[in-house]
A and B are shown apart, each in its own frame.
Chain A
């Protein structure tokens, strides 16, 4: 299943807020009720297994009830999506995962653009560089259906950037948001200016976050959990003519002094810049041709100077630079709806480490050899839309991927390990699938079968003693890795009644050549205190299966209730679970809405996790539960509105952590959040 959070498209001036995406989080709760309609309206079909879009339908819905604030960060929004997990190393920079897939197993894109974090420890999944102030929507596709923007076995998460709207009136709008959290004494603020005209519109946003160490349940201060960052984005839209639209995006994000309590180092500096130009040509009947050129750059620098336990001070910078182009087209021909995309991207990555021992020469290591990765892909999808038929959808994607290690110290070191990297490592990746959907009155059935391949990442292929804090091993890349190859089956049953909707999604994935790290006996770790060295290898197979259930019950006009349940299981040919398999999770929310105010009670539960990877060295996690309370109120002004939010998260001040949290660092305890927003 996939979700799409989006602003409504309106003719009139969009009083709807740029933070609408946050409201959409609350709409995640309302998802099952609107599911059918949304799919119909946004994708013209009632297919359930393709990209499903949740839109924020009601612009009057002034509050985000899932967060105490409209300034929840992108990760907090993501964490609310069913089937989505975040691997937490620190309070921000959490790594999105879908079901049991993480990292490179999923495609994390921004506006369809490829972007790579520059940190070899995955401290900076690129979602950290997008703020809700410039986020328009999140598209999520589970499993092989995420292959639209690149070969994947786990799915895709696409963060769409906010674009300015056009209006007949020439107006400049301003929006200000602010929130304060007690647990980290953190303050978040954002300011958005919109200048709209008939043919030309611009949008400038700025966001600033600063937080201290947060307090976990029971009053325990979590050291090294502070952070500060600012983000600024400029978006320009220009209507060349009725059919032709040009858009330019520029975004800068700068993080400083970001603590990662789950790692042994923090981040001193994380700078990202994105530039993109998009041309959209609209034809008749929704036919469209979109072309995008983009460039992005990330510089990331770790910092250990604040950690007293550091044995030797070291600098660990990383660089990432990607440029690319893609063109996507959709067209209708008779009963068939075609969608196609071709894309090319070029990514440069490198990372190194300089250590400063006392009274000895400095030590330098290339942890990731300078490398270029080129990827060219073609995606084609055809949907047959015949009434009374099974609405079959067939899709296919082919990718050519070449990883080239550039000459230098890094290449010499890899050669020293006996790795053959003189010639580019080339892969041809094939993905494809078929879907059927059928509706019987209030029952919707969907089935999908697909095949997917995933190219191993640069870290997995040419990483050089990359330290993994989670299992305390240094990892060596393996250029001979074969792509992961998955056979996936998914089945969906949705029951839609007037007041109740019940959606179930079942899946079974069989992945051959799944990757796992294995200890290389006799190798000594580079990292002081690490247990040894692991190397990435292909397993014979790993299976993943599970389900997601969402029950939405509209009890009365004012009361509504939502329940989600997520079950994930994995098992590989060694008879173990795969690392980072999330436990059973249940979320419940009951909300009461009356006129311009709303109260919501929430309950979260995660079971203990005993599905562990012994090879990885995972330890079990206990179960936990949490209660949250939220309240919000808004007032309509002559022009714009004003809003106020208040929330208590972790009401009972439980000391807890999620199974996927690195080093089992406790999450925030009782947290009072106050938010305020003004729009004029």
Chain B
């Protein structure tokens, strides 16, 4: 205990020294132009501040999150630690989570810890919170924080929940959208998770088939690649959009060669 206090004191002292040595001007952190700030929170025990960015306002579906962790006093970017995000939906009768991707590496990509959350319902159903746990490996301090997010319903849908044919458990399927769909070949990535209350385990044993189609023309496109499992419930394939306009990508799910879900699709306009 004494040791911990001592270390903390030294650390504080060091911090004071370093901050007094360097000029008090805050570090300029380069934020990519396409990032939108979604919110921020203090992570008390870890003496850190988390600022969360996304590519668009939170929506039902797969949301990429870019979390910037800074030292709460010096404002310096923290680049050695482990960040874990836990989404939580508080409804009048119950509380549940949703599928989440957390960055495994303790070193952020540039300045940002990358992760993602599949919001399964809009905030009209309750209150969405992102709960953060950060363990600063440099200082060995760990703490928690939380922030509220306003999640809007995606139109067209970017995530689907359904009962798959193999058992009675529900499956959450989400579309991992690129920043921009383009003509020609695009990565087509989805996530598949089993629905739970606090835990949404990944599904890794499905076979996925996709078939793009232009509903108003009745034609498809060739040269598509069916998504295959990569990791964390992600399945990656390719979709070929031969023209711009409204496409519907039909998805069929198989398990052990047996069709377990048909008739689901994502609508994509480019």
Binding site for B on A (CB under 8 A): 312, 353, 355, 357-358, 360-366, 409, 411-418, 464-465, 520, 522-526, 528, 533
- CB under 8 Å from chain A, chain B span 103-161: none
Pair B216/A416 contact, Cβ less than 8 Å: no
Give bound CA distance, A522 to B211, whole Å.
Answer: 12
Pair A409/B223 contact, Cβ less than 8 Å: no
Q: A355-B245, A364-B244 are in contact. Are A416 and B218 (CB under 8 A)?
A: no
Pair A312/B240 contact, Cβ less than 8 Å: no
Select A528's contact among B184, B218, B244, beta carbons within 8 Å: B218
Q: A413-B183, A416-B183, A416-B185 are in contact. Are A363 and B220 (CB under 8 A)?
A: no
Give bound CA distance, A597 to B261, whole Å.
Answer: 84
List residues of chain A with CB within 8 A of the CB of B214: 363
Q: Who on chain B is nearest to A464 by CB?
A: B242
Pair B222/A520 contact, Cβ less than 8 Å: yes
List residues of chain A with CB within 8 A of the CB of B222: 417, 520, 522-524, 533
Q: A416-B240, A417-B222, A528-B217 are in contact. Are A363 and B184 (CB under 8 A)?
A: no
CB distance from B108 to the nearest CB of A (A): 32
List residues of chain B with CB within 8 A of the CB of A312: 216-217
| Size of the chain B interface, CB-CB below 8 angstroms | 22
Q: A312-B217, A520-B222 are in contact. Are A416 and B242 (CB under 8 A)?
A: yes
Pair A409/B244 contact, Cβ less than 8 Å: yes
Give bound CA distance, A526 to B244, whole Å.
Answer: 12
A interface, by DSSP: helix, strand, loop or mixed?
Answer: loop
| Interface: B241 (CB within 8 A) | yes
Give bound CA distance, A412 to B240, whole Å.
Answer: 10
List residues of chain A with CB within 8 A of the CB of B218: 524, 528
Sample (28) of A-B pairs whose CB atoms are under 8 Å apart:
A355-B245, A357-B216, A357-B246, A358-B216, A360-B215, A360-B245, A360-B246, A361-B246, A361-B269, A363-B217, A363-B243, A363-B244, A363-B245, A364-B243, A364-B244, A365-B243, A365-B244, A409-B183, A412-B182, A412-B184, A415-B185, A416-B184, A417-B223, A417-B240, A465-B242, A526-B242, A526-B243, A528-B218
List residues of chain A with CB within 8 A of the CB of B184: 409, 411-416
Pair A416/B244 contact, Cβ less than 8 Å: no
- CB under 8 Å from chain A, chain B span 214-235: 214-223
- CB under 8 Å from chain A, chain B span 43-67: none
Pair B246/A525 contact, Cβ less than 8 Å: no
The 8 closest A-B pairs by CB, nearest first: A363-B245, A416-B184, A365-B243, A412-B184, A357-B216, A416-B185, A524-B219, A364-B244
List residues of chain A with CB within 8 A of the CB of B217: 312, 355, 357, 363, 526, 528
List residues of chain A with CB within 8 A of the CB of B216: 312, 357-358, 360, 363
CB distance from A311 to the nearest CB of B (A): 9
Give bound CA distance, A525 to B218, whole Å.
Answer: 9
Select A525's contact among B182, B219, B241, B245, beta carbons within 8 Å: B219
CB distance from A366 to the nearest CB of B (A): 7
CB distance from B211 to the nearest CB of A (A): 10
Select B223's contact among A357, A416, A525, beta carbons within 8 Å: A416
Give bound CA distance, A417 to B217, whole Å.
Answer: 19
List residues of chain B with CB within 8 A of the CB of A464: 242
Pair B223/A365 contact, Cβ less than 8 Å: no
